[in-house]
Chains A and B, each alone.
Chain A
Amino acid sequence: MTKKRKALTIGFFYITATLIVVIWLIPFFIATFTAMKSMDELMSSRYWWMPPQKTVWENFSSAWHTGNMKTYFWNTFVVTVPSVLGALLFSTLSAFALSFYSFRLSKVILFVFIGGMLIPFQMLLIPVFKFSQTIGVYNTHLGLILFHIAFQLGFCTFFLRNFMKSIPVSLYESARIDGAKDFTVYRKIALPLSVPAVAALGILEFTWIWNDYLWSLILLQSDRLKTITVGLVSLQGQYVSSWNLIAAASLITAAVPLAVFLIFQRYFIEGLTVGAVKG
């Protein structure tokens, strides 16, 4: 490649990439600007996408306290953390069974797990709603957690099985020659070796469960139990014209997944590409 062409290519990259990224971030800027405007300024301005003339931080605190975002925020933590841990723990068991042993139904079970994660959620809504009522976990965080664990098992098993398949068989065999029981192989070899995959998976699962809307809508009823996405929508219903308050609440909702992504970006992207599917 000639020098001139190389310079041209580099120029093309930076100009196009900058343009794309700036266009992509415009909605974020608009949301932030709106969240920092006072109601007076918002009502008098003709252009909602302009930066605020006077920056105001009160919207965040009033969304947090008056808008009750603090309750929703902690509820979401209470739901998300056990769901992620449970899904990870159970799926290491099933992934181990499907990767360590070869038995006749193993492919079928794997396909049941993968197929289940791709079906439209509407197929599950009514029976899961009814089942939760029957076993008495409707309108409790436990009911939501149990459902998230069960449903996410599909993707987690698929993901971890693929990873565990790549663990060299010789490692398992040497342990077995030393007389280790199967459960010891799982606990002492498969589990420690899968830690990077489990971490990547955990981060993905965390953002997905945090962002879930439909299942909190179906399985929770009381306002004090609502998770943050459902809370945000009901807040919007209450404060229809307070765009600045809603904008602040939206940013609070987005803050946790954004932070998780920025800190663990490498794992996040690796997780997405290994599984190449989302729930």
Chain B
Amino acid sequence: MTLSKKHWWKPWAFLALPLTMYVLWVIWPIIQTFGTSFTKWDGMDAHPIWIGFDNFTLLFRDATFWTSIRNNLYWMIFFLGIPVPCGLFIALLFDMKLPGGKVYKTLFYLSMTLSFVVIGQIWSWIYQPQYGALTSFVRLFGFNNLGELQQWAFSAFCFVLIPLLAGLFCSKVFFLRRQASAFKTLWVTLLFVAVWIAAAQWLKVYWNPQLTISRIAKRGFPWINDPDFVTFSLIFAAIWRQIPYVMVLFLAGLKNVPPELVEAAVVDGASWGQRFWYVLLPMLKPATIVAMTISIIDSLRAFDIVYSMTRGGPFNSSNVLANFMYIESFHNYRMGYGSAIAVIQFVITFGFITVYLNNVLRTEANAS
């Protein structure tokens, strides 16, 4: 309801308590962190020393920072590349509404309710080097150590996955629609460049005698103690929880697809693939945007699982920005430096938060 001039204060009377709390514990701290990032401060001293942008210049020269950025990028790529398509596929599967489907859904959801700390514990004995389940599983396929697995995975990546994705994308762009746009051309070019780089890398790594020796030197299966594997091991444990969550988002999106639309497509003789591409996927666009932005935001604030499983080790190889910030601020008492890391993390996340807010704004506009 609209308010007359005399009653302007009424909403503020309701907002007073919650908004004060929110400002004190959330909004004001955000502003403070920006301030602290320009200072040198051990957290105890009453007067932090103003040092301008020094923390940031120091940060950009810090190798650990770049490792964290790289690992956060891995988290982001994997959180987009695996949970989103898998969540969509499983949502479509469970949307078939057959008897007993609910039980399956419930069981599938269970991992979503767990704390990341518990997930870290459970997976750390799946990753146990000698007797863990993953080691036993991989041995089944004849791998004797992680080096062999790494070599195989890398070849598979270069020669199967990337060409497959490129092929899929090209066929979609060129043969289904036949409308070339600058944007699509750019994408196809980028994919070809990616294939080329991957193949070149493969050639370089596969025939580099020094690297091959270091691969052979890898003994056993130290999943989370090996710098090359630790980040991916952590990401897969997190994905175990993320897929059911993304699936919930897609199931909600599927509820908004009118069944008449799908039936009409069936009557018109559309195949399963055509129904998926031209009916379901466009209808699921809002759900996909939400799932993707949430996945990215989650991947950028990954902390619990990293800190409780490895604390960023071995040799910082699994560090991510969130963990790096915590260690610098609360183990090394470099609060100014830690704040600078937090600010970088915030700046990266901010773009995706805007996408999400924009989405909310659009649903808002549609509703009213």
Interfacial residues, chain A to chain B (CB-CB below 8 A): 9-10, 13-14, 16-18, 20-21, 24-28, 30-31, 34, 45-49, 90-91, 93-94, 96-98, 100-103, 106, 109, 111-116, 118-128, 130-131, 146-147, 149-151, 153-154, 157, 165, 169, 172, 182, 186, 207, 210-214, 218, 229, 232-233, 236, 243, 246-247, 250, 253-254, 257-258, 260-262, 265, 268-269, 272-273, 276-278
Contact = CB atoms under 8 A, between A and B. Distances in A.
B203 interface: no
B367 A165 contact: yes
Given A10-B98, A98-B11, A98-B15, 12 more contacts: A20-B93, A49-B126, A49-B136, A93-B14, A93-B18, A94-B14, A122-B322, A122-B346, A150-B25, A232-B118, A254-B114, A273-B248
A100 B307 CA distance: 43
The listed residue with most B CB atoms (<10 A of its CB), out of A126, A128, A257, is A126
Nearest to B20: A150
Contact of A120 (B2, B251, B349): B349
A13 B98 contact: yes
A104 B118 CA distance: 45
A242 B320 CA distance: 29
A146 B252 CA distance: 33
A122 B342 contact: yes
A211 B116 contact: yes
B345 A27 contact: no
B32 A90 contact: no
A243 B125 CA distance: 8
Contact of A45 (B8, B131, B245): B131
A203 to B, nearest CB: 10
B342 A17 contact: no
Interface stretch (B73-81, B194-202, B297-305): B297-305
A269 B251 CA distance: 10
Nearest to A118: B353
A46 B244 CA distance: 32
26 contacts: A9-B96, A17-B93, A20-B90, A24-B110, A47-B131, A48-B125, A48-B131, A48-B132, A90-B18, A94-B14, A102-B3, A112-B22, A119-B349, A120-B321, A122-B346, A123-B33, A123-B343, A124-B30, A126-B33, A126-B335, A126-B338, A127-B29, A128-B29, A151-B25, A232-B118, A272-B245
A269 B346 CA distance: 29
A70 B204 CA distance: 56
Interface string B326-368: 1001100001001101110110010001001100100000010
A211 B106 CA distance: 19
Contacts of A214: 303-304, 326
A213 B115 contact: yes
Contacts of A30: 122, 125-126, 133
Contacts of A130: 43
The listed residue with most B CB atoms (<10 A of its CB), out of A46, A49, A207, A265, is A49
B121 A149 contact: no
B333 to A, nearest CB: 11
Contacts of B357: 111, 114-115
Contacts of B96: 9, 13
A16 B248 CA distance: 18
B252 A273 contact: yes
A172 B251 CA distance: 33
Given A96-B14, A103-B8, A213-B308, A122 B248 contact: no
A14 B133 contact: no
Given A46-B131, A48-B128, A126-B335, A21 B108 contact: yes
Given A9-B96, A27-B240, A213 B121 contact: no
Interface residues of B, number: 92
A27 B122 contact: yes
Nearest to A246: B121
B19 A109 contact: yes
A153 B15 CA distance: 11
Given A91-B18, A122-B326, A232-B118, A150 B24 contact: yes
Closest 6 pairs between A and B when the two form their complex, measured CB to CB: A127-B29, A211-B115, A150-B25, A273-B252, A97-B14, A49-B133
A182 to B, nearest CB: 6
A218 to B, nearest CB: 7
Contact of A218 (B28, B330, B339): B330
Contacts of A14: 98, 100
A122 B353 CA distance: 15
B69 to A, nearest CB: 14
A31 B26 contact: no
A207 B43 CA distance: 32
A17 B32 CA distance: 49
Contacts of B249: 272-273, 276
Contacts of A113: 22
B330 A265 contact: no
Contacts of B367: 165
B349 A118 contact: yes
A233 B322 CA distance: 18
